[in-house]
Amino acid sequence: MRDFARQVYAFVGLGLMGGAFVRALRPVLTEARKHGEFQALLSPRSGKTQSGKTEGPGPAQALAFDADPQVLIAAAEEGLIDRGFSEAGEMLALSDVVFLCLNPRSAEFFLRDHREEFKPGSLITDICGIKRSLLPLARELSAGNLDFIPGHPMAGSEKEGFANSRAFRFTGRNYILTPLPENRPENLAFLRDLIYRLGFSRIVETSAEDHDEKIAFTSQLCHVIAAALIDSSPDASITRFGGGSFEDLTRIAEFNASMWAELFTGNRDKLTGQIDRFAASLDRLRLLIDQSRGEELQNLLAGIREKRIKMESPR
Amino acid sequence: MRDFARQVYAFVGLGLMGGAFVRALRPVLTEARKHGEFQALLSPRSGKTQSGKTEGPGPAQALAFDADPQVLIAAAEEGLIDRGFSEAGEMLALSDVVFLCLNPRSAEFFLRDHREEFKPGSLITDICGIKRSLLPLARELSAGNLDFIPGHPMAGSEKEGFANSRAFRFTGRNYILTPLPENRPENLAFLRDLIYRLGFSRIVETSAEDHDEKIAFTSQLCHVIAAALIDSSPDASITRFGGGSFEDLTRIAEFNASMWAELFTGNRDKLTGQIDRFAASLDRLRLLIDQSRGEELQNLLAGIREKRIKMESPR
């Protein structure tokens, strides 16, 4: 298996998620150095640790490509990346493990444009919120000399961009992998190990189809609901009447509009199905309320409460 | 105007909200003592303050009535109330300011049963989440020798009961008052002052009609949505695919089923109207998604995002 402390990691896109990844990776690599996981391979740029032991960046490196040079500079100044690239091909040729931290459509364009520039044997993964769209290309690449393992870290924020990655942590989050038949078992084992090291608390493995069905419910439907709530709100002064529920339900409506429009339409078959199921439940509740069927309503709400409470300890 | 440090306060019902009220009132009264707001009226049960000044419970007292004696004992042991009552009438006869911390229907029953037992001149207020149902009775009482000022603290939790009031704070919350033409201005001024002292950050005054319309949106609709989301969820294991949004939107579905069934049906005309407006927005989004009208969808989402951002600083 790959030694995680000896890989060259590359991040394509240093937005919120790319930023969060380099931020989570840095202490993991630093920790590995402290414990001498690759003491034998110290680089010439070595320094002193707190304990006086000699250390250095070692063979593991974090590289990043982003269209915005300011972001690369900021990440390098924070010590999060060893080198920034304005030319993706140059970086890809040096990299063992590549994280595509792009929206689905950009990820697909990037892969098509740069497929010949990856280092042979590279492990590639993505973070896209829909998993069927990249599937044919991922399988095609993985049938060759690359290994593309599709993934989806279940972590996000309504605040986008590298600057907002500062307050962002992966601790306690879910990570979904939708491995392909073509994936090398040792690469999958490596990626699983790396994901836990980055702070995620659970990995769920399933098919792209099942992922898109489930995510349409837990993520996309929730964003559609938040959007509809704001759309149907009278005006901004309504929060003078807020007690917390409205604020909690609509915080995610400060979303990145282009990304979510892309996710919604990209998964429209699954998402419209989930909207319809939700709307049916809403109708059912509306009917009991409208007809003042208090006892039936109370029984339904009590059952819902029980169902929700069972969701509290899913691990 | 009433001196808040010389009133006898009574709390009918020590559930989550009653508990939170006695918990918020206690330090306010203690602070008043420290600053000598009624030093001239020290009781024989006096002690020493940290600064060595003599203090005592003074004339201000917090009394409580609850059907569960264990709750009264717990509140007394915590030093939150000066005396607990299992007989409401006995307490009401002693009280200047009465908080009815009951569900709407129970509050109405309580008022009808005990209307003759209040001390003449008492200021009464409630915490009910719908304001039209108590209106006729409140006006009737206020036309006599009582003064009923309807109120609704915009604070709640899905965790009910006195025990859960421990972690509960009013700081930063909204409070809605729906004063009546019959209310005495000096009592209204007193109640406003007390509400701010309890930690609330804003008081909104409006009609019962407007309250019920707005609350149907900010509070009840949100609870209906959370309920419909849980109702339409496949099963409890769905949270393995959760990234936070679903959890945030459905936390309130761990509600007190009987109270919410009562609030929903009690406000059904306003609530069904809000459900319909929300459902229309949901339909609009669904259509754009289903027809892959990406640009229109993105524009709509961008407008929604702007509207939500404006809601961030309503004060």
CA B270 to mean position of chain CA atoms: 20
pLDDT at position A228 over 80: yes
Inter-chain residue contact B241 with A271, CB threshold 8 Å:
no
Per-10-residue mean pLDDT for chain B, 315 residues long?
A: 89 96 93 63 41 51 96 96 96 97 95 97 97 96 97 88 89 95 97 96 96 96 98 90 92 94 97 98 98 98 95 56
The alpha carbon of residue A83 is apart from the nearest alpha carbon of chain B, in Å, by: 31
Nearest to A310 among B236, B246, B279 (CB): B236
Say which residue the tokens 């829909």 belong to.
A130
Q: Which of A77, A113, A117 is nearest to A95 (CA)?
A: A117
ipTM above 0.90, yes or no: no
Give CA torsion, residues B40, B44, B49, B53, to 10 deg: 40
Mean pLDDT of chain A: 90
Other Cβ atoms closer than 10 A to B253: 25
pLDDT, position B100: 98
Sign of the Cα pseudo-torsion (B1, B5, B7, B12, in order): positive
pLDDT, position B48: 42
Inter-chain residue contact B300 with A231, CB threshold 8 Å:
yes
pLDDT, position A54: 42
Inter-chain residue contact B301 with A257, CB threshold 8 Å:
yes
- A181-224: per-residue pLDDT in tens? 999 999 999 999 999 999 999 999 999 999 999 999 999 999 99
pLDDT, position A36: 62
Query: Considering chain A, what percentage of its residues have pLDDT values greater than 90?
Result: 79
B8 Cβ neighbours under 8 A, 6+ residues apart = B59, B60, B61, B63, B94, B95, B96, B97
Nearest to A245 among B218, B254, B281 (CB): B218
Taking a C-beta distance cutoff of 8 angstroms, is the pair A75, A162 a contact?
yes
Q: Which chain B residues are Cβ-neighbours of A239 within 8 angstroms?
A: 218, 311, 314
Interface size, chain A vs chain B, as Cβ–Cβ contacts under 8 Å: 288
Inter-chain residue contact B252 with A251, CB threshold 8 Å:
no
Inter-chain residue contact A314 with B236, CB threshold 8 Å:
yes
Q: Where are the beta strands (DSSP E) in chain A?
A: 8-12, 47-48, 54-55, 61-65, 83-85, 97-100, 123-126, 147-149, 151-154, 174-177, 202-205
pLDDT, position A93: 97
Coil, strand or helix at A126: strand
The full DSSP string for chain B is: ---GGGPEEEEE--SHHHHHHHHHHHHHHHHHHHTTTTGGG--SS-EE-TTS-EE---S-EEEEE-S-HHHHHHHHHTTS-SEEESSHHHHHTT-SEEEE-S-HHHHHHHHHHHTTTSPTT-EEEE--S--STTHHHHHHHHHTT-EEE-EEEE---SS-SGGGGGG---TT-EEEE---TTS-HHHHHHHHHHHHHTT--EEEE--HHHHHHHHIIIIIIHHHHHHHHHHTS--GGGGGG--SHHHHHHGGGS--HHHHHHHHHHTHHHHHHHHHHHHHHHHHHHHHHHTT-HHHHHHHHHHHHHHHHHTT---
Residue of A nearest to B264 (CA): A289
0.90 exceeded by pTM: no
pLDDT, position B37: 59
Residue of A nearest to B173 (CA): A243
- A256-292: per-residue pLDDT in tens? 999 999 999 999 999 999 999 999 999 999 999 999 9
From CA A103, how far away is CA A278, in angstroms rounded?
27
pLDDT, position A30: 85
Q: Which chain A residues are Cβ-neighbours of B294 within 8 angstroms?
A: 261-262, 265
Nearest to B305 among A218, A254, A304 (CB): A254
- A11-67: per-residue pLDDT in tens? 999 999 999 999 999 998 888 777 665 544 444 444 444 444 444 445 799 999 999
Taking a C-beta distance cutoff of 8 angstroms, is the pair B175, B20 a contact?
no
pLDDT, position A37: 59
- A2-12: per-residue pLDDT in tens? 888 889 999 99
β partners of residue B177: B151, B205
